Amino acid sequence: MIEPLGFEQQSIVTSLGRMVYYTNTGEIWQPLDAATANDQPKLVFLHGFGGGSSAYEWSKVYPAFASEYRVLAPDLIGWGRSEHPARNYKIDDYITTIIEFIEQTCEQPITAIASSLTAAFTIRAAIARPDLFKSLILTTPAGLSDFGENYSQSFFAQLVSTPFLDRFIYSTGVATEGGIRSFLEQRQFAQSSRVYQEIVDAYLQSAEQPNAEYAALSFVRGDLCFDLSLHVTQLTVPTAIIWGEKSQFTGPEIGQRLAALNPQAIRAFQHLDDVGLTPQLEVPAVTIGLIRRFLALLE
């Protein structure tokens, strides 16, 4: 919802509606040699899920790559400025639209950099269509029901599954400045002092979009959760994983177990001390450094 300098909004149409994305087409990011403009490799940054999520989640990271790569950072369907169909979202909705987005915007296999549950979807997209991907760099990729855990049976998931109560909880406890700040400070970040007002404002703008509750409630109910351990062994695309030690939902031990299932594809696993679910917002400079390191490793 807040565009970095030199990035512009564009869009494509998917099977579920229009998907907005941000890309470095501004003058300051144009290659000095115009002849090489079409030869720049592409990086696709995919945000995770939560109340008010959007491509803003990666906005402190992706400008660092804008002079070398064509950057594409979409708002996924149901989030940010993309269309918000009034529906109960399913896992295949996101796997399908991630694939459609890459098909329409990228001519060559790309590196996808993705976060949390969306990173788990991206693994499944790469299993279904390995021809679209050159490599994956993932922060906290988890299906949230991994190794037999069933998130949908948790107390909060059951509470939010109650008709009418679900939208009341969203409007009063999620899509408010206080609700978003509380979630970021208590659940998403390891250090609450790292949550500054611009982050809260960006999440709130996304959470207040018409029909924004549909995707958010599908996520909180557990409709989008699955056991990634049942799929990760099928991954063939070279992958690196970054995992915040203090991720509230799934700790690094889950990530290490997932990585151990497929060491041929998952070639690096880096846990970060005193970091939560979204290192790209909490410690963006460190995240940039690790992405650069893994780009070199995986290529």
pLDDT in tens, 137-175: 999 999 999 998 876 666 555 655 566 566 777 877 788
Residues 259 and 233 sit within 8 Å (Cβ to Cβ): no
Confidence (pTM): 0.95
- How far apart (Å, rounded) are the C-alpha atoms in residues 247 and 277? 4
- How far apart (Å, rounded) are the C-alpha atoms in residues 238 and 282? 26
Q: Which residues pair with 44 in a beta bridge?
A: 72, 112
- How far apart (Å, rounded) are the C-alpha atoms in residues 283 and 292? 15
Q: Determine the straight-line distance between the first and last CA of the chain, rounded to whole angstroms.
A: 32
DSSP 226: B
Q: Is the pLDDT of residue 288 over 60?
A: yes
Q: pLDDT (tens digit, 9 = 90+) per residue, 16-64?
A: 999 999 999 988 998 766 656 677 999 999 999 988 999 999 999 999 9
Q: Which pLDDT band, with edges at 50, 70 and 90, does 84 fall under?
A: very high
Percent pLDDT > 70 in the chain is 92
DSSP 249: S
- How far apart (Å, rounded) are the C-alpha atoms in residues 117 and 1? 20
What is the full DSSP assignment across 132-200?
GEEEEEEES---BSGGG--GGGSHHHHHHTSTTHHHHHIIIIISSHHHHHHHIIIII-S-GGG--HHHH
Q: Which domains does the chain have, with CATH numbers?
A: 8-298 (3.40.50.1820)
